[in-house]
Chains A and B, each alone.
Chain A
Amino acid sequence: MSQLGIHALVWVTEWTEADIARACAATAEAGYGLIEAVIFDPAEARPAATAKALAANGLIAVTGMALNPAADISSPDPAIAAAGERLISDAILATRDMGSRLLGGVTHSAMHRYPTAAAPGTLARVTDTYARLANKAQAAGIRLGIEAVNRYESNVVNTLDDAAAIVRAVGSPALFAHIDSFHMNIDEHDIAASIARNIDVIGHVHVGESHRGYLGSGSVDFPGFFRALIRAGYDGPIVFEAFSAATLNVDVANALATWTAHWTDSADLARHALGFMQSGLEGARLSLAHTGPIARRQNG
């Protein structure tokens, strides 16, 4: 059974000791057993404080990250590519030290509105880099994810099939594909079909609405999404993600092109999301359980 979690950026936009304590307490208070911490800078991941706050609130953690234009494994510039590989290597160690067993996110390229298509040879270079990083992840006892993000956030991995192809090419159990319903709603043809054909490599799931606000208030077909996961037998973590200009610091909000305050009350949003995911997944389980013929009602 999947563990339900919430993304730290629903609560905080930095990872100071005060943020860590607040985010973990709020996560537990809202009823979640898992938090996804964001590693902006591995040197500032504060593993000891994180581990302490997790234990104090009875939580487990997964971690997420995103490369940037100066540290980007997809860059044709060897120095920038090396900086990207270093950033991920450091984040792998920070993940281990924080007690997380899973590092997901935009690890294939910068989270960036690229102006041109990726250069020829990019995918091969990125795949080679993942082969080295998979070994490091395995040595650290964690798994490394490749998150498919929409066309405006990367020019390398935009669909689950893109991510799955890299995982299969490397062939390491330490790598997985990381999906996100917000991005899939932009770039997939058929979400259920894509999940079905790639379930063997899916290791992490983000649940986000089409506009990244309250779940159920946008255009994502969540009954279809949850059914696809349950039907395929997915049992990894499922993490709710939402962004609002009301809670993010201005740099993070700008990077995410979050121009409006879709929501203001993090606690209300978080509680609603947990109920939404629980009932959505339960509905999907029930629908899967009721596959036989439906008995006719007899008159009299």
Chain B
Amino acid sequence: MAQFGVHALVFTSDWNPATAQAACQTAREIGYDLIEVLIFDPATLDVAATARAAREAGIGLRLGMALSKGSDISAPDPDEAARGEATVARCLEIAAELGTPAVSGITYAAFNSYAAAPTPAQREQVAMALSRLDSRAGELGVKLGLEPVNRYESYMVNTLDQGADLIRTAGGRNLFLHMDTFHMNIEEADIVATIQRNAALLDYAHLADNHRGLLGIGTFDVKGFFRALCAVGYQGDYTVESFSPVPLSSDLAGGLRLWRQAWQEPAHAARVALEAMRQGLAEARAATTPW
């Protein structure tokens, strides 16, 4: 049964014991099954406090990550690439420590405004690193997800097809695709068709409207997305990303290019999104059930 999650950045970009506790409690009270914690830096994430906050609130955990410049698995510099690989490996260990099924996000390159396209050699390098990480994930009993993001946030994997190709090149059995509707709305040609082509690899979804504000008030075809996933028997979870600079540090808001206050109250945004997801999934299930 699919679970509904909310991204921690809906509540705060400062993840410490107190904010973790508050975010987990609020998310649970609203009715979420899961909260996704973004690992900014595996060295500084307070794993024990994160586990405690989730346990006390009675909410499940998902883990997200994004490599950054300086520890970029796709970098031509071998030291930088090795730092990137070590970062992903450490995040996999954290997933195992926390008992979460997976870690996913921008795991194939950095969250970065690249100034040039990747070369075939860089792609080959990433595939080899993902192959090693896939083995490590298998040892740890967790999975590693690749999230295609739009052209302005990274390169190499902007579409599900590109991610699937990379997974096939890496040959991994513990690798999966993590969808995000904000990015898919920009980069995919036919969203339904790409879901059909890549159904076997889909294992997580971020729900966001076209502008990443309140879910359901923009132009994204949420209904079509849920129907496409129900039609292919998708069993993964759904986590909302609804962003406003209000609860975020100015650095993070800047990095996400959030120039407008899409909403003022995190709990309101979270409630609106949960209602939209519940409604959307229920309707899609009904619509895709034979009668």
**Contact surface of A with B, Cβ cutoff 8 Å:** 113-118, 150-153, 155, 158, 185-191, 210-211, 213, 217-219, 221, 245, 250, 253-254, 257-260
Contact = CB atoms under 8 A, between A and B. Distances in A.
Nearest to A187: B211
Given A114-B257, A116-B250, A253-B117, A188 B211 contact: yes
Contacts of B90: none
8 contacts: A116-B250, A186-B185, A189-B211, A219-B188, A254-B114, A254-B117, A257-B114, A257-B152
B291 interface: no
Contacts of A189: 211, 213, 217-219
Given A186-B210, A191-B219, A259-B158, A117 B117 contact: no
Interface centre among A150, A186, A245 (most CB of B within 10 A): A186
A113 B158 CA distance: 17
B190 interface: yes
B221 interface: yes
Given A114-B254, A190-B219, A219-B191, A259 B151 contact: yes
6 residue pairs, one from A and one from B, having the closest CB atoms: A152-B152, A151-B257, A257-B151, A116-B254, A113-B113, A259-B117
Nearest to A220: B219
Q: Is chain B's interface secondary structure helix, strand, loop, or mixed overall?
A: loop
Contacts, number: 94
B124 to A, nearest CB: 17
Contacts of A188: 210-211, 218-219
Given A190-B219, A217-B190, A259-B117, 17 more contacts: A117-B250, A117-B254, A117-B259, A150-B152, A151-B258, A155-B257, A185-B185, A188-B219, A190-B217, A211-B189, A218-B188, A219-B191, A219-B221, A254-B114, A257-B151, A258-B151, A259-B158
A152 B150 CA distance: 10
Contacts of A150: 152
A162 to B, nearest CB: 9
Contacts of B254: 114-117
Contact of B189 (A113, A151, A187, A218): A218
A85 to B, nearest CB: 23
Contacts of B282: none
Contacts of A254: 114-117
A153 B187 CA distance: 16
Contacts of A221: 219
B1 to A, nearest CB: 29
A260 B202 CA distance: 23
A206 B194 CA distance: 27
Contacts of A210: 185-188
Given A186-B210, A221-B219, A254-B115, A211 B257 contact: no
